[in-house]
Amino acid sequence: MKRGFLLIAVSGALATGIVAAATQEEIGAKRAAVKALHDRLAPRVAPLLVSGSDVRAFVSLAPIVEGIAAIAATPPVTRTIRVQSTGANGKFWENGDWCHSFVELQSPDAFMATAELTNLVGSILDNGTIQVSTRALARGKAQMKFQFKGMRVRGPLGIGNVCPPGGGVGSSIGVGFDKDLDLVLQVALSRGPDARSVSYSAAFVSPEKVDVTAQIGLGALGTLGHPVSFPLPRTPLASGSFPLLFAQQGKFTLPGGATRAYSLALTPQSFVVNRTGVTATWKSAVQFR
C-alpha cells in the first residue's frame, strides 16, 4: 500500500510540474504577443494623445481633396457655371477717337455666359491652404447697344479736332466671346473669432485678368474683333466658418435618477493649420448648473 501511494504521489507531482511549465510558457507567449501589439500600436496612437491640454480637436483636410476629385468625375452639366446679368454696369467699350462712341448692355438681362470646369484638381499646401486648379471653357453672348457719335474732324481754320453735333446714332448689335483659361482658387483657413471654429475665405489667385476678344457683329459691315480685359476679383468669393466642437454642454444622471447639467468653459491654447489638417487645443473647466 505504501509503495502504491508513493507512485501516485510521484505521478501527481510530475503532472503538476508539466502543467505549471506549460502554463508559464503560455503566459510568456501571451506577454510577448501583448508587447508586440503595444509596440506596433504605440506610434499610431501617439498622435491621438492629448498632453498639456484638456481638449483637442482635429479636422483632416484629405476628404476635401477627395471630394474635389469626386466632383471632377461628375458629368459636365454638374461642373458648368451659368451667369445671367441682372443689371448694367457701365460701358462695355468706349473710344475717344470716335467722339466717345460706346457699347453698353441693351437691357439688364442681355448678357449670359457659361463656364464648364474641367481638369479639376485639389491639393493641400504646406500651410494648410486648400488649392483648386481648373480649366474653364467659357462661352458667352450679349445683346449690346452701339451708340455711334461720329469721327473727329478738323475744326474751322484747321484748328483742333471737332466731333459732329448731336448724340449720334444708336443700333443693337450682338457680341459673343469664346475663351479657355486656367484658374487657380485658394481657400485659406484660420481660427474663428470665437476660438472654437475655423474661418475660411476663398479667392482667385491666378490669373490676374482674363483677356478675351469680343466678336462684335455690325450687320452688313461684318464682325469687329475687339480685345477686352476683365480683372478677376481678389476679394473673397465666399467666406464663413464651421465649428470644431459640436458639444460643449450636456447632462448626466446621478444615482437615484436625478440629472445634473454641465458646460465646458474653454480657454484656447493653440491653433495649427498645415498639410495634415487643422488642430486646436483648449484648457477646460467644468461648470455645473
pLDDT above 70 coverage of the chain, percent: 83
- DSSP three-state, residue 17: helix
Q: Which of 11-20, 127-136, 143-152, 158-167 has the highest mean pLDDT?
A: 127-136
Q: What does 104-143 look like in DSSP terms, one character per residue?
A: EESSTT-EEEEEEEEEEEEEE-TTS-EEEEEEEEEEEEEE
The three three-digit cell numbers of residue 37, written as one number: 501589439
Domain shared by 83 and 137, yes or no = yes
How many domains is the chain partitioned into structurally?
3
- DSSP three-state, residue 246: coil
Q: Would the pLDDT of 219 be above 90?
A: no
Q: Which of 1-10, 53-62, 221-230 has the lowest mean pLDDT?
A: 1-10
Q: Distance between alpha carbon 83 and the CA centroid of its chain, in Å?
A: 21
Q: In 10 A of CB 184, how many CB atoms? A: 13
Average pLDDT over residues 117-133: 92
Domain shared by 127 and 207, yes or no = yes
Domain shared by 219 and 78, yes or no = yes
pLDDT at 264: 76
pLDDT tens for residues 54-103?
A: 788 888 998 888 988 988 899 998 888 888 888 877 787 788 888 888 88
Q: Would the pLDDT of 6 be above 50?
A: no
Domain shared by 15 and 93, yes or no = no
Residue 36: give the domain boundaries.
Answer: 2-47
Domain shared by 103 and 223, yes or no = yes
Q: Are 144 and 110 in contact (CB under 8 A)?
A: yes
Confidence of residue 14 (pLDDT cuts 50, 70, 90): very low
Q: Report strand pairing: 153-154 vs 169-191.
A: unpaired
Domain shared by 83 and 223, yes or no = yes
Q: Which of 46-50, 161-165, 174-178 has the lowest mean pLDDT?
A: 46-50
Domain shared by 16 and 94, yes or no = no
pLDDT at 1: 45
Domain shared by 84 and 216, yes or no = yes
Domain shared by 105 and 229, yes or no = yes
Domain shared by 236 and 260, yes or no = no
pLDDT tens for residues 174-201?
A: 878 888 889 999 999 999 988 888 999 9
Average pLDDT over residues 20-32: 73
Q: What does 23-83 look like in DSSP terms, one character per residue?
A: HHHHHHHHHHHHHHHHHHHHHHHGGG---SSSEEEEEESHHHHHHHHHHHTS-GGGGEEEE
Q: Are 234 and 245 in contact (CB under 8 A)?
A: no
pLDDT at 17: 52
Domain shared by 106 and 237, yes or no = yes
Q: Are 112 and 81 in contact (CB under 8 A)?
A: no
Domain shared by 30 and 117, yes or no = no
Is the pTM for the entire model greater than 0.85? Answer: no
Q: Would the pLDDT of 3 be above 60?
A: no
pLDDT at 286: 78
